[in-house]
Structure 1
Amino acid sequence: MTRTVEERLQALEDRLDIIELEAAYARTFDEHDGDGWSALFTPDGTYQSRPVGDAPPVTFVQGTDALRAFCTQAPFDGIHFLHLPQLTFDGDTAQARVHLEFHGSYGQDAGAPRLALHGFYDVAYRRVDGRWLIAHRVTSAFSREQSTVLGYPKGSGLPA
């Protein structure tokens, strides 16, 4: 099937819009911008961790208000490193897998835990009023490492 120039242009614009959506996802979450982050989801949008076996997901958040609170009240600071999404489109819906690294900390004091997570997101998108939004996002971690901040000690440690 041959697509028109307009169809090809729309396909490129859709792909770029979702790439921009993913960039905004990482930035707004890392900045604890709950309003901005929750606005990237459909009103009934869901963020969840992938269940392990028969256990329920550790994290399951649905709806604008819950998403806003989850982001704003996150007990850690961190930074997302996202790879480009591998996208498939079907009209006004799309799906992607987005590989990620996340590095976070639970405070700056000695003894505060640090986290390094490697994994991927599986994401379902929906175009609503001409704008691509996240309908459902599932985090799958395949590596999670925790370490402890010891703090930088003052002085030499040698006897006076």
Structure 2
Amino acid sequence: MDAQEQADRLELMHLEASYTVMFDTKDAEGWAALFTEDGSYTPAYFARTPHDVPPVGIGRAGLLEFAKSFPERTQHIFGLPYFTIEGDRAAARIPLVSVGVGEYGTHVASQLYHGYYDVQYKRTAEGWRIHRRQSNVITQADTYQGSGPARIDPVSHD
């Protein structure tokens, strides 16, 4: 591994560390800035979500809107990414555990899941940025607390 690849890997690691901190602290602007101008994020909130889920945000404006409207408080815990780097493009698979808690009317919902992200990156004038990110859920556990029947659809969070 040459010096350039070492520098690229360190920059990509910092980018991923920034992802967790910025999303979990609700820094929507900072989080959206981690993506390319035409970047996208495709979630898989639940293990039963079909694999053809559309991206929730395309481009920084769409990603910013998604992050600002995300109702849950989260804690992302990443494993070590497996990076492949080819010139100005890179890819990674990143193991993760995520915990989310949100209030929906009179109910509190919490979610724990583990899985991985598949990520594509591009080197830009700003440095490495996330181009495409896809969540892949392996297992999940959901709980709902409140009075009476749940008023939300646990699949869509609508």
Same fold (TM over 0.5): yes
Q: Where in structure 2 are there 5+ consecutive unaligned residues? A: 147-158
One-letter identity of the residue aligned with 2:89: T
TM-score, normalization by structure 2: 0.82
**SS class of match (1:88):** strand
How does the TM-score come out when normalised to structure 1? 0.82
Confirm whether residue 85 of structure 1 aligns to residue 81 of structure 2.
yes
Deviation at 1:108, TM superposition (A): 9.7
Instruction: Report the counterpart of residue 30 of structure 1 in structure 2.
Output: 24
Q: By how many angstroms is 1:110 displaced?
A: 7.2
CA distance in 1, matches of 2:80, 2:35: 19
Matches within 5 A, 1:1-160: 8-49=2-43, 52=50, 56-57=52-53, 59-107=55-103, 111-129=107-125, 131-149=127-145
Would the aligned equivalents of 2:108 and 2:145 in 1 still touch at CA under 8 Å? yes
Is the contact made by 1:46 and 1:63 (CA closer than 8 Å) also made in structure 2?
yes
SS in 1 for 2:117: strand
Q: CA deviation at 1:107?
A: 2.9
In structure 2, C-alpha distance between the alignment counterparts of 1:80 and 1:33, rounded to whole Å = 14
- Aligned identity (percent) is 32
- Following TM superposition, where does structure 1 have runs of at least 4 consecutive aligned residues deviating by more than 6 angstroms? none
The structure whose Rg is larger is 1
Long gaps (5+) in structure 1: 151-160
What residue in structure 2 maps to residue 153 of structure 1? none
- Matched residue SS, 2:111: strand
Q: What is the RMSD of the two structures over their aligned residues, measured on CA atoms? A: 2.2
The one-letter amino acid paired with 2:136 is S
CA deviation after TM superposition for structure 1 residue 49, in Å: 2.6
- Give 1:40 shift: 0.3
